[in-house]
Amino acid sequence: MTQTAPAPLSSPFIYLASKSPRRQELLRQIGIDFRLLLPQDHEDAEALEATRVGEAPASYVKRVVLAKLEAARARLARLALPEAPVLSADTTVALGGTLLGKPADAAQAASMLSRLSGRTHRVLTAVAVGDARHTDWVVQVSRVSFARLSAAEIDTYVAGGEPYDKAGGYGIQGAAGAFVRKIEGSHSGIMGLPLHETNRLVRKALARFGSASPAGN
């Protein structure tokens, strides 16, 4: 029996409120056309990621992703750009109830990797897609088990410069992929954008948006 291909996305594009090249690559992988909607010079984007004492990891990523979406929607209005759905995302690493954000320097990156060595941690990625009237969001959680790492392995990895700007001090799509003994969940979610959940949110938002133009045209 011949299967019918899924219907194309019904709006020409979405806005991506993230400078992450990994998220851009993942959106292209599933055929979603997007335009970047990045923070302007006067915006303190890092402040949106500030942690709160006692905040659970899932609550943290949900709060941050919705704050990023709100800031992006305000940016869209301020710049008087054409209306389209906006996608924001945030990823954090949690070891037990402790959040491991982006390392500030080599010493902090090495410390994080030492803590992850030989243990299983969670990677939580929140994705929110919204327009002027509707917002949908999801928090995807994966479990990642690291092999036991030697001090030399950690030092070599940190010296390569890869840990910076990555939650937990590593990127699974890079050299740190060799540290991973097992994952349970979404590989793309660990990279920063769970494709299954993101595809569903984007298609819903674009269908609601009501444009008749196929994606990518």
Pairing relationship of beta strands 14-16 and 98-100 according to DSSP bridges = unpaired
Q: Report whether 31 contacts 215 (CB < 8 A).
A: yes
Taking the model in full, what pTM does it have? 0.87
What the block records as the tokens of 67 is 């704050």
136 as an active site residue: the answer is: no
Note down pLDDT in tens along the chain; length 217 residues: 444 444 444 457 999 999 999 999 999 999 999 999 998 888 777 788 888 888 999 999 999 999 999 999 999 999 999 999 999 999 999 999 999 999 999 999 999 999 999 999 999 999 999 998 999 999 999 999 999 999 999 999 999 999 998 999 999 999 999 999 999 999 999 999 999 999 999 999 998 887 434 443 3
Q: Write out pLDDT tens, residues 3-57.
A: 444 444 445 799 999 999 999 999 999 999 999 999 888 877 778 888 888 899 9
Most distant CA atoms of the chain, gap in Å: 58
Q: Report whether 11 contacts 85 (CB < 8 A).
A: yes
Q: Residues 33, 41, 90, 165: which is the catalytic one?
A: 90
The whole-number pLDDT of residue 34 equals 96
Cα 25 to Cα 16, 31, 84, 115: the distances in Å are 12, 10, 20, 29
Question: What domains can be seen in the chain, in order of their start residue?
Answer: 14-209 (3.90.950.10)
Q: Report whether 100 contacts 115 (CB < 8 A).
A: yes
Q: Residue 75, Cβ neighbours under 10 Å: how many?
A: 18
The whole-number pLDDT of residue 6 equals 44
